[in-house]
Amino acid sequence: MIRKLVPFLAYAFLLIILAFPVRAAAVIRIQVVAKTPEGSLIPVPGALCQVTAGDEIKESWTNADGILSTPSVTGKVSISPVALPAGFKYDGEQLPVLEIDSDEAVSVPAEGEAPPQIHFATSMRVPSLSLHVVDEELAGVQDVTLLIATEKEGVKETIVTGADGHAMMTLGSGFYFVTVVGLPDDTFQIPDRIAVFLVSDQVTEISLSRLVVPTTTEPALPSESAPTTTEMEPEEIETTPSKEPEEHRSEKSSSPNAVDVFTMIFSLLTFLGVGYLVMINISLRRGGY
């Protein structure tokens, strides 16, 4: 039973697809053209355009017919060529901007209509951008690396300054940012990028400032000075006379010590011994008579 229904279901699904064709996504197509000296319009291939939709910014290139295609969105879409190939220039001193505003995402142009155009002019020259990097004393700074690029770096070139602080290059007309991306040493601080609208030969000066090194105050070490001696006056010691009685002091001074007593005893014994010997001698003499 199921096998018999399969062909029928497939046929019904095909009818539904044919009845409700898939709608192609809405696309915005614009064309970038340039006016020749003869007054004719020619496409500008290889032009870099900045497309802004809400907060989103992107960069896209035009094809060989000068056509740029981008998805359509609800709201405002701004398209501006920010870098032109050699042989073309801006037809004025302002960056042209094409704005498309819609309440819903619809294709532009409508079927059967020509796409909106942005006009430029042809040129026989390619402009040059000369950069001069100086310090606070206006002296040229060597070996500074500079990046020249569009907002999203669809076009970007790098150059380095010479001994005099100069660097130069030829570049297609466009709106560029110059950014310092390399310094010769770490004593300089990187400045803010500079916007340059290049429509003819241009010289731009970039000033560098040196970093302010914070000074740290170290605690002062004690000085090694010679030791100082303080002369002190000798204290006057007052002596008060003893209040002991005179006779007591004389007794103390006349009282014999142990050595004197021993000497007296030894002398006395010696005297007695000598006297004894003399008496014996006298007795012996008498007895002999």
DSSP letter for each residue of 27-45: EEEEEEEEE-TTS-EEE-T
In the predicted model, residues of the chain with pLDDT beneath 50 are 22, 229, 234, 237, 239, 241-254, 289
Specify the pLDDT at position 215.
64
pLDDT of residue 197: 96
Alpha-carbon dihedral angle through residues 187, 193, 199, 201, given to the nearest 10 degrees: 0
The half-sphere exposure of 268 on its side-chain side, counting CA atoms within 13 A, is 6
Going from the C-alpha of 99 to that of each of 28, 52, 61, 83, 251, the distances in angstroms are 11, 9, 17, 18, 136
Tens of pLDDT, residue by residue over 18-45, are: 555 545 689 999 999 999 999 999 999 9
Instruction: Show the domains of the chain with their CATH numbers.
Output: 26-122 (2.60.40.10), 128-210 (2.60.40.1120)
Question: Residue 264 to residues 135, 258, 267: CA-CA distances in angstroms?
Answer: 113, 10, 5
* Residue from 209, 141, 199, 149 nearest 178 by CA: 149
How does 133-170 read in b/e, with b if 16+ C-beta sit within 10 Å? bbeeeeeebeebebbbbbeeebbeeebebeeebbbeee
Q: Which pLDDT value is given to residue 279?
A: 73
> Which sign does the torsion angle of CA 107, 108, 109, 115 carry?
negative
Position 189 scores a pLDDT of: 94
Q: What pLDDT is attached to residue 91?
A: 87
The pLDDT value recorded for residue 256 is 53
- What is the reported pLDDT for 251? 45
- Strand 202-207 to 174-182 pairing: unpaired
| Residue found by looking up tokens 């060989």 in the block | 64
Residue 81: Cβ within 10 Å count: 25
CA-nearest of 59, 49, 37, 36 to 85 is: 49
Using left for φ > 0, alpha for ψ between -120 and 50, and beta otherwise, residue 55 falls in: alpha
pLDDT for 224: 56
Q: Which residues pair with 210 in a beta bridge?
A: 188
